[in-house]
Amino acid sequence: MAKNDLIGGALWDAYSKKVSERMDNPTHLGVLTQKDADEKNAKLIVADYGAESCGDAVRLYWLVDENDVIIDAKFKSFGCGTAIASSDMMVELCLGKKVQDAVKITNLDVEHALRDDPDTPAVPGQKMHCSVMAYDVIKKAAGLYLGKNAEDFEDEIIVCECARVSLSTIKEVIRLNDLKTVEEITQYTKAGAFCKSCIKPGGHEKRDYYLVDILADVRAQIESEKLKENISKENNGELSFADMTMVQKIKAVDKAIDENIRPMLMMDGGDMEILDIKNSSDGYIDIYIRYMGACNGCASASTGTLFAIEGVLQEKLDPKIRVLPI
Amino acid sequence: MQKRIYLDNNATTMLDPSVKSLMDPFFCEHYGNPNSLHKFGTEIHPALHDAFNKLYEGINAADSDDIIITSCATESNNWVLKGVYFDLIATGKKNHIITTDVEHPAIGATCRFLETLGVKVTYLSINKDGNISAEQVKNAITEDTALVSIMWANNETGLIFPIEEIGAICKEKGVLFHTDAVQAIGKIPVDVQKANVDFLSFSAHKFHGPKGIGALYIKKGKELTPLFHGGEHMRGRRSGTLNVPYIIGMGEAMRIANSYLDYENSTILKLRNYLEDELLKIPDVVVVGDRKHRVPNTTLISIRGIEGEAMLWDLNKAGIACSTGSACASEDLEANPVMVAIGADKELAHTAVRISLSRFNTQEEIDYTIEVFKKAVERLRKISSSYEGSL
């Protein structure tokens, strides 16, 4: 939540100029017929996605030549301003591409192309589903052209029947956008926005897949992949101290102390142990330690010895480390 | 200069300039705290008494009843539900509330919150006419029912619910009855005694009063644990220093609104019906709810093939303000809840536009609106993939 979020109703202000312009004057609006296809010796593809009852529907027309290139494209759309603008941009991105390449266009490509500047989203979060729909209709059209059953082509298991959102779309959108909540999935895909049966068990209709489970699975996968990547980086010595897991951090600190500090302390009959490691709010990494043996009560434990320990850890691991004896 | 035509009066209304002029002296001249003993405080009392008289008269409350000033109807609604929770439910006496599934979120969301505290809530569904019958309420009442809370008129469709009949049933069954009358006041006569209500909420900005002030009517003898504890304002029922200019504004707005009831139900009604008739000439356009059972200012209209927000966008460009509960205009993704509840045509749930007039609208504005509507429908149906007539 930010100060500006406290005042509602700014939805339209969050649309980019490109979205507004395309809403007012869509450039690729229209219909392509068999006659158009025959004149250009091309194949006509007409794909529908969504439904009026869901609040969004789009129809995509392609003329594809013998080299699989989309030589002309038009659309029609039932939807809000962003749905119309996204459909228009989606058509533009398809034009001139081979079908096999067009199918790689994602909702993010559509949304990015609608931005006025690269860092500001073209539409607010709850409108992302409109660009996702544009992405889905391309897959549908490509499925039709390539002679595949659209369902096979899209690896379709429909999770949300109301918004007709597939398992693969949901998984992909979670990954691409690093989504963390079911509400975000709904914002991006519309899945779960209507009868809500697909959100979690206990709705009026039993489902094979629920958004909460899909989210948990994908998040677990993402985390496990991160961990694997982390370990492999660690093995290659590429992992920075800040990116380590807590266990890795403790091990690294222990190792640095064993190799560089402990022998020095033990020579004087002392020792130390690590109590905790915390990221402080001012950007430091605080390592809490306890002195043992002769170090306990030694006059230099809070001066020279401490600076030596801190200096070694800063040099070996991270310059942001602070050592705090307790 | 571009025209600016405001047809979203169920969301909020313009402050009546004569209400404003009555409020003005109470900001910088007579700014005392009415609870103070000195003259700055007491000199305000006559104007406050006058404002309360107008409110009591406006809804026909008895002198012994209470009309407690709140910040808005949302607060009033929360107060009734949570007050009943503390008085009857938390004490284990009763555990059931009856409401409808088309109430304002101030009721709906509060009920869902109370459910997390163990309250049982029955959400009555509106029938295919968009209305609730007294029979439905009667059948839902059990031994355990603490409260029935049903709006007087629906904000989306303008349909008037049978509040008097429901009030009679609640009285007969000994169940507390609350109504959210936000959309009724200033549009139809509201009489708390005739309707047998125990609690009634309203908000000044819906009848040309200021925003940020409302009230809760509490029938004589009905207990309600306060939502705000503090000083002894309003005899301890709702603490907080009185918002003097706004109370004066609300009272005057109520008086004027009631004096315009005949105008609303003749001139504005005719204007609304004229608008509806003209828009219904466009093919595949549907108006929700029978005119006979609707408040005079409201039209919920569905234009096949055009998503609600897209329609609002075009109207807004022409300077016309309307609203839609459709998916894309609001900050959630739901279809218009009333359209869904009516269930008449699922396909139309995302195509609804609500037009709500006020006594400040003119024939000329409505003529312009009709013209703009027709152009917008033509443009947007050309874009539409779902309206085959456009191909």
- ipTM (interface pTM): 0.82
Residue A310 pLDDT > 60: yes
Residue A109 pLDDT > 90: no
- Cα A171 to Cα A181: distance, rounded to the nearest angstrom: 13
pLDDT at B329: 44
Q: Which residues contact A227 (CB under 8 A, 6 or more apart)?
A: A245
Most confident of A208-212, B132-136, B349-353: B132-136
| Helix spans in B141-194 (H) | 163-173
Judge: A55–B307 Cβ closer than 8 Å, yes or no.
yes
Judge: B313–A77 Cβ closer than 8 Å, yes or no.
no
Q: Which residues contact A28 (CB under 8 A, 6 or more apart)?
A: A73, A74, A75, A88, A91, A92, A95
H or E element in which residue A139 lies: helix A128-145
Residue B82 pLDDT > 60: yes
Residue B171 pLDDT > 70: yes
- B327 CB neighbours in chain A (<8 A) are 55-56, 80, 193
B317 reaches A (C-beta below 8 A)? yes
Judge: B327–A55 Cβ closer than 8 Å, yes or no.
yes
Q: What is the pLDDT of residues B112-123, one digit of tens each?
A: 999 999 999 999
pLDDT at B390: 45
Judge: B391–A194 Cβ closer than 8 Å, yes or no.
no
Q: CA triplet B95, B99, B101: central angle to 5 degrees?
A: 130
B70 reaches A (C-beta below 8 A)? no
User: Beta strands A165-166 and A158-160: pairing type?
Assistant: antiparallel
> Per-residue pLDDT averaged across A115-129, rounded?
83
Active site residues of B: 328
Residue B163 pLDDT > 90: yes
Most confident of A123-137, A166-180, A195-209, B239-253: B239-253
| Residue A213 banded pLDDT, cuts 50, 70, 90 | very high
Q: What is the pLDDT of residues A25-74, one digit of tens each?
A: 999 999 999 999 999 999 999 999 887 776 778 999 999 999 999 999 99
pLDDT at B340: 67
Full-model pTM: 0.77
pLDDT at A227: 86
- Cα A231 to Cα A226: distance, rounded to the nearest angstrom: 9
Sign of the C-alpha dihedral computed for residues A287, A291, A295 and A300 taken in this order? positive
Mean pLDDT estimate for chain B: 92
Mean pLDDT estimate for chain A: 86
pLDDT at B331: 46
Judge: B333–A190 Cβ closer than 8 Å, yes or no.
yes
- Residue B4, min C-alpha distance to chain A (Å): 18
Choice among A294-298, B209-213, B258-262 with the minimum mean pLDDT = A294-298
Counting residues of chain B whose pLDDT is more than 90, the rounded percentage is 82
- In the numeric block, the tokens 């002894």 are attached to B232
* Chain A residues with at least one Cβ partner in B under 8 Å: 8, 11-12, 23-24, 26, 29, 31, 48, 51-59, 75-84, 126-127, 129-130, 186-187, 190, 193-194
| Residue B374 banded pLDDT, cuts 50, 70, 90 | very high
Q: What is the pLDDT of residues B315-347, one digit of tens each?
A: 999 999 999 865 444 444 455 667 666 665 666
Q: Packing angle between helix A304-316 and helix A246-260, nearest 10 degrees?
A: 120
Interface test with B, best of A22, A49, A80 (most B CBs within 10 A): A80
> Per-residue pLDDT averaged across B71-89, rounded?
94
Judge: B349–A127 Cβ closer than 8 Å, yes or no.
no
Question: Which among A55, A76, A186 has CB closest to B383?
Answer: A76
Q: CA triplet B241, B242, B243: central angle to 5 degrees?
A: 115
Active site residues of A: 54, 130
Judge: B306–A186 Cβ closer than 8 Å, yes or no.
no
Residue A151 pLDDT > 70: no
Residue A134 pLDDT > 80: no
Q: Which residues contact A2 (CB under 8 A, 6 or more apart)?
A: none
pLDDT at B10: 95
Q: Does residue B319 or residue A261 have the better pLDDT?
A: B319
Most confident of A42-51, A144-153, A201-210, B143-152: B143-152
Q: Does residue A39 or residue A153 have the better pLDDT?
A: A39
> Per-residue pLDDT averaged across A142-152, rounded?
75
Q: Does residue A271 or residue A238 have the better pLDDT?
A: A271
Residue B193 pLDDT > 70: yes
pLDDT at B345: 62
| Residue in A closest to B333 by C-alpha | A193
Residue B144 pLDDT > 60: yes
- A84 CB neighbours in chain B (<8 A) are 310, 383
Q: Which residues contact A195 (CB under 8 A, 6 or more apart)?
A: A161, A162, A203, A204, A205
- Residue B304, min C-alpha distance to chain A (Å): 9
Judge: A29–B383 Cβ closer than 8 Å, yes or no.
yes
| Residue in A closest to B350 by C-alpha | A55
> Per-residue pLDDT averaged across A181-187, rounded?
91
> Per-residue pLDDT averaged across B276-291, rounded?
94
> Per-residue pLDDT averaged across B72-98, rounded?
93
- Cα B139 to Cα A321: distance, rounded to the nearest angstrom: 69
